[in-house]
């Protein structure tokens, strides 16, 4: 092996070791947090809220489709986290566990709501193909923002199973295997749901045929 090759290999090893060390530190910290919560340390839950409030709200906001329901959902999710944090066994990261609790809460709350709402609301006037080109500038940014909100409204119309996969991937930025762990499905199912969810959004926004 050449000198450069040896350096690359040693760099990769270092990187892998760093990731491993970081994961171990996070897991240890998560366990410590749960133990403190079990022993009644109120600061432990405060820390959980600080760490995950943005993540939970973002997920709830896009799953629910409206701000008020998202706030309500976020409260319920944190209440569940508070109740069941003692059940966290550390088999996954605390973040994955929080995502799982959040998704289950959304399913419980939105499942019935979705089935009730059978009428598909097309957003024909606000089509994706009318989105402005990504030119910087206040006006362009506002327009892009508006177009993104249109996508957000369309997202709220997706069936729950597609919506949760798309939200976890494109908004929360989770990797496919993490999404599979959160949803409790195979990675192939995750790929399929994301693709079908995105495609439905595309059809809805471009063709308006839902």
Partner 1 sequence: MTNEATVELLSRLLDGDVSAVERERIEERIETDAETREIYEGLRRVRSSLGQLADAAPPAYLGAMVHRRVALEAEKVGLRSRLERRLHWLLPPMLLPAFAVVLALAAMFYLLANGLARYERAHEPLILSAPPGSARGPEVVEIDSRVFVREGSRWLESDLTPAAVATARQRRVRPDEIAEWARSRPRLAALAELGVVVVELDGEIVELVFETGSD
Binding site for partner 1 (CB under 8 A): 42, 45-46, 49, 53-54, 56-58, 61-62, 70-71, 74-75, 78-79, 82-83, 128-129, 131, 144-145, 147-152, 155, 166, 169-173, 176, 191-192, 194-196, 198-199, 201-202, 205-206
Nearer to partner 1, 28 or 195 (CB): 195
- Name all contacts of 105-112 with Cβ < 8 Å and 24+ positions apart: 105/73, 105/76, 105/77, 105/80, 106/59, 106/60, 106/63, 106/64, 106/73, 106/160, 106/164, 107/160, 107/164, 109/73, 109/76, 110/63, 110/64, 110/160, 111/160
Q: At its nearest, how many Å lie between partner 1 and the CB of residue 30? A: 19
With both helix axes pointing from N to C terminus, report the angle between 94-116 and 176-183 in degrees, rounded to the nearest 10.
70
Nearer to partner 1, 74 or 157 (CB): 74
Q: At its nearest, how many Å lie between partner 1 and the CB of residue 106? A: 15
Nearer to partner 1, 97 or 200 (CB): 200
With both helix axes pointing from N to C terminus, report the angle between 138-155 and 187-206 in degrees, rounded to the nearest 10.
120
Q: Which two tokens stand for residue 84?
A: 């069941």
Q: At its nearest, how many Å lie between partner 1 and the CB of residue 201? A: 5
Q: At its nearest, how many Å lie between partner 1 and the CB of residue 10? A: 26
Nearer to partner 1, 27 or 191 (CB): 191
């Amino acid at each position: 092996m050449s000198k450069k090759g040896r350096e690359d290999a040693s760099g990769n090893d270092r990187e892998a070791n760093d990731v491993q060390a970081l994961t171990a530190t996070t897991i240890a910290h998560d366990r410590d947090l749960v133990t403190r919560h079990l022993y009644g340390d109120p600061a432990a839950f405060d820390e959980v809220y600080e760490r995950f409030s943005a993540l939970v709200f973002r997920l709830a906001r896009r799953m629910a489709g409206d701000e008020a329901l998202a706030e309500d959902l976020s409260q319920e999710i944190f209440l569940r986290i508070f109740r069941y944090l003692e059940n966290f066994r550390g088999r996954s990261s605390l973040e994955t566990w929080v995502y799982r609790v959040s998704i289950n809460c959304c399913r419980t709350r939105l499942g019935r709501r979705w089935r009730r709402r059978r009428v598909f609301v097309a957003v024909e006037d606000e089509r994706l193909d009318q989105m402005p080109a990504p030119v910087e500038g206040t006006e362009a940014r506002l327009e892009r923002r508006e177009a993104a909100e249109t996508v957000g409204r369309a997202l709220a119309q997706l069936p729950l199973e597609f919506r949760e996969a798309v939200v976890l991937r494109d908004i929360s930025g989770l990797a496919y295997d993490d999404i599979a762990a959160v949803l409790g499905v195979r990675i192939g199912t995750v790929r399929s749901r994301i693709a079908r969810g995105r495609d439905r959004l595309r059809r809805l926004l471009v063709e308006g045929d839902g």
